[in-house]
Structure 1
Amino acid sequence: MENSIELKFAAELINSAQLKGTLGKKSFKKEILALILLMFILTGIFFILFRFRNNEIFLSFVQTSREARIIMIYHSLSIPFIAVCTFWLLEFYNVREKMILTIKILILPGTFIASISGAIFAYTRIMLFHDFFYLGMFLVFISGCVFLASVWLKKGKFPYPEEELPEGSTIRGWSIEYFILTILAMSLLISSIIGALAAMENFVGTAFGLNPPREPIAFLAEYIIHDVSHDIVENSVKSHLHIMLVEASAMVMMIAFRYVKMPKNYYKFSLLLCIPGIIIISIGTWLVVFALPIAHMIIYAGSSFLLLASLFIIWFGWKEVAMEELREKYDKASFWKRTRSSFSDPIKSTFYFLLFFSYFVITLPGLIVAANLEKYRTPEYYELEIDFSIGHWHMLATLIATMLLLLAIDYYNVKGKIRKITGITIFLASLLSFGGGTAYTLRPLPDTIIEPYFMITIIGISFLFIGYTLGIFIIYKAYIKDRKQLKKANEADIQD
């Protein structure tokens, strides 16, 4: 009985069309690599600049100046990340072909202009670069509008009737995948507008017409979250931060859905879970703007749908790794042998592990703090709540960035020992950095000895940076190798 089930599962994997939609279309590997390099270079520059704390050329480190600088750094790194996710979606999902060039013309220059100008403005305060930053943001936003139009669902006309969609991805002729992409793009655009309106009101006073107007100073969400009451600008910033992180995670999930081969019934069920998940979370975060007490409960409800959907990615992803390792021996292999084989590829296995690990370093800590919110809002826990807010958001952002890098390493077809070394390095670094960070942010009392947790986190981050460096190096090397092979093949065709 068990053998027949496994054979049926294997047959469904073989017949799965989840990657067929990407065959025969233009690849965006060059654009993805360029944006990954941009993020890596900017991260290295920011790391170096933070070392020159006492150098006057890098401005004063008073609180408001520091907060303004950090906000610009956030955007300088998050914009190329969203752009990378967009190109990954273009890589795996066929969109309206006539709109692809427009998306590229808008999003690539927009991302580079916004990221580089934002980074320069963060450390110089030269307003010209701030204006360029806004120009880049505007181009990226317009590219998002074009992306929305490129995936807009139209029964019988788009996705194109001749396109072979993955089994289990449609219901009554409608593509579930493209419906998710549509609501995901809409949510991102609306949430971007919320952030833009908050910035306008905070610095210009022209969005909400507050009376009296706010003092035009920068602030970080983690430092005002402890306050009893917030105005609409502060609530909008909290909403913007929450939703953009969640939607970035959902984009990575949509990439993973096309990456992992899944039987059609499970695939359909997991996709259907994403629809209420994204819609409910979006509504919950938008309600944060109006300071409604029920907002966070709605966010938790929506998150549960996405968490359940991610379990299918984890299970079938690990199972696929084990089947690739054991091949014809899979059916007769014991449970422990299958389990060991599911970790045979450090790159793929670490991706699925991080998705699973996120339950313990992101989801569970969030629920613990939410259940004890009254305690965390007391004066003696003030510093601890700030530490948790900073750590929680940073760990989520770093975790999804790490997962995307792992997908890139495998997709660029990196082989050999360096692949395993990189995968193991990122795996161990993730255990230390995310595990240590969780222990640090959930320490029992504010006066608890923190040095061990803090040092573990710093060691983990250092190794994670080494893993990133190795990963980007081998991706670049694999890309150059593919380009050379393609050039030789084209030259051979010309000679023939």
Structure 2
Amino acid sequence: MQVFVDRFNYLFRSTKGLALVAIAMISLVTALWGMLSGPMVEFGITDVVVDLFGFQLVPAEREGRIIILYHVIANAVVAIEVYFITALVKMKKHEQSTINATVTFGYLIAMIFGLAFAYFGHNFVFHGLFIFGQSLLFFGGLLFAAALWPWRKEYRIEDTDYSRTRGGLDLERTAFFVMAVATLGSALFGAVTGSYWGNGHETFLAEDLIRNPHKTLLQKSIIGHLHIMLTLVAIALTLIIGKWYDFKGWFHKIAMPLMIFGTITISIGAWSVVWVEWAHTTIYVGSVFVMLAALFLVIFGWDKLIRERIAEQGIEKANFFQKLKALFHDPLKFGATWQMVFMNFTVSGVGIFMAVNLNEIFRVWPHREERIILTGHWHILSGIIATIILFYFADLAGLKGRLRQWFGWLVIIGSDLAFGAVTIFSMKRLFVTESAQQPLVNWTMLVADFGLALVLVVLAMFLLWRLFDLFKRNGRWKSELDETGYGEVQS
């Protein structure tokens, strides 16, 4: 019996175990529900999966199913970030335990019963449990924000290497707090609209309304909700990576106020989409501040990676190539910040170019082309966030040596090939006419499928390694559980 208790404690009481469970759940959902995607339909795999598992896929309900699927995955991603933050940011032990437990039950209940409702017959008890799970997650967020409250005396800092006020207020902790409060407000922003489902509000996907000149207030609020939630997930992850790098110095002192102001401004902009025409301008202004803060993190991080590796090698005056080699030495830490840079070529840059040339170029194209760009835009950003989470968790999990190198570089290469190919595919009308596009479509789809498959295979191998470790009496999980302080594991 103790064998099961120990492993349960590891999986549901330690940061690494909780994150592992959430990543595994997302992976299982992605693997199974990915069998319903377009390419799988062409291969005939979807029909086999539908018959085998009993999926009920009514075409008229497609949008509703996708919305629930997005939410259950997003809930788990938010939970993972909460686990990381409660381990990285100072708080009382009982606060960490309560927050993690509440968030865990919330996302698991929402995931299990949300998918059951959406894909296996509409039992509205399951829908109620889906809402209950999300409510638990929201309550966990309230506890999370309270624990992050930065104005407590015990959380004042004196170290002048970190961003702080003259009174010692920790501005990095304040940035975490602002992000948490903004996330709660943005979740509530979507929940209020959700309460009108079936009573003046119909299910839709945002990309289907892009050319509708007259949107209802509820439609606008959903569009604002989905924009800000993904943005806040990215902001939270940037702050997490900053803690991982031990971000400090002048760049940190400048970046944290920028991040705080940017987060507040973006949130106000997204919320005001419902009422004012200039909301997008507010979002753009906030984005500039957030992206500057992220840029300072990248500069600091790459400089630190180079300096530490050069010092480790004992090189007094390194040349350019030695510095470059030092930068690439650790693919996990380099990959986390590289993906932030790469995002500008596949997400931010494309978005800005599209906004500037919207009426002159993109609105001249068929609606389907613009829809593809927007869909690719969101999926690429979500994918980049996922890879950064994997880099951080792989480091937490103790990947070292060649395994660390192989895992890191295969994820970087695979994901960047896929996201780059999808970007070219989505913007293909700039390069080729519709009648001549097929060779480009074929190659970009082939590269994208190869890159994604590579990442998924590497992730599967990583998860299998952790699964097999759980069956070992003195596996890595044992030492990781000992670190939590939740009691000694029986030998």
For 1:474 and 1:319, the matched residues in 2 are separated by 33
Match of 1:154 in 2: 151
For 2:244 and 2:238, the matched residues in 1 are separated by 10
Find the residue that maps to 1:348 and give its secondary structure. helix
Which whole-Å deviations, capped at 9, do the CAs of 1:164-220 have from their partners, x for residues lacking one?
7683132112110121122111111111111111111132x3xxxxxxx34xx4211
Match of 2:454 in 1: 463
For 1:425 and 1:398, the matched residues in 2 are separated by 15
Residues 15-414 of structure 1 correspond to what in structure 2 (within 5 A)?
28-50=15-37, 51-53=45-47, 55=50, 57-62=54-59, 64-124=60-120, 125-155=122-152, 157-159=153-155, 167-172=161-166, 173-203=168-198, 205=199, 213-214=200-201, 217-290=202-275, 292-327=276-311, 329-375=314-360, 378=363, 380-414=365-399
**1:27–1:91 CA contact under 8 A, matched in 2:** no
For 1:476 and 1:314, the matched residues in 2 are separated by 33
Consecutive unaligned residues in structure 2, runs of 5 or more: 1-12, 38-44
Instruction: Indicate the larger mover: 264-273 or 82-91.
Output: 264-273
Query: When the two structures are superposed, what TM-score results if normalisation uses the length of structure 2?
Result: 0.86
Q: What displacement does 1:375 show?
A: 3.7
**2:110–2:130 CA contact under 8 A, matched in 1:** yes
**2:415–2:451 CA contact under 8 A, matched in 1:** yes
For 1:454 and 1:407, the matched residues in 2 are separated by 29
1:420 aligns with 2:405: yes
Query: When the two structures are superposed, what TM-score results if normalisation uses the length of structure 1?
Result: 0.85
Find the residue that maps to 2:329 and give its secondary structure. coil
Find the residue that maps to 1:380 and give its secondary structure. coil
Amino acid at match of 1:326: I
For 2:427 and 2:36, the matched residues in 1 are separated by 30
For 2:320 and 2:455, the matched residues in 1 are separated by 31
1:440 aligns with 2:437: no
For 2:126 and 2:386, the matched residues in 1 are separated by 26
Indicate how the Cα distance of structure 1 residues 33 and 274 shifts in structure 2: closer, same or farther if over 3 A, else same. Answer: same
For 1:126 and 1:475, the matched residues in 2 are separated by 35
For 1:488 and 1:298, the matched residues in 2 are separated by 48
Indicate how the Cα distance of structure 1 residues 476 and 88 shifts in structure 2: closer, same or farther if over 3 A, else same. Answer: farther
**2:82–2:100 CA contact under 8 A, matched in 1:** no
Consecutive unaligned residues in structure 1, runs of 5 or more: 1-25, 206-212
CA RMSD after TM alignment: 2.6
Q: What displacement does 1:340 show?
A: 2.0
For 2:210 and 2:123, the matched residues in 1 are separated by 30
Residue identity (%): 27
Which whole-Å deviations, capped at 9, do the CAs of 1:238-296 have from their partners, x for residues lacking one?
01100000000011011011111344222111112101110111111111122x22111
1:451 aligns with 2:442: yes
For 1:139 and 1:376, the matched residues in 2 are separated by 45
Which whole-Å deviations, capped at 9, do the CAs of 1:48-91 have from their partners, x for residues lacking one?
355425847423452x3111111111011110100000110011
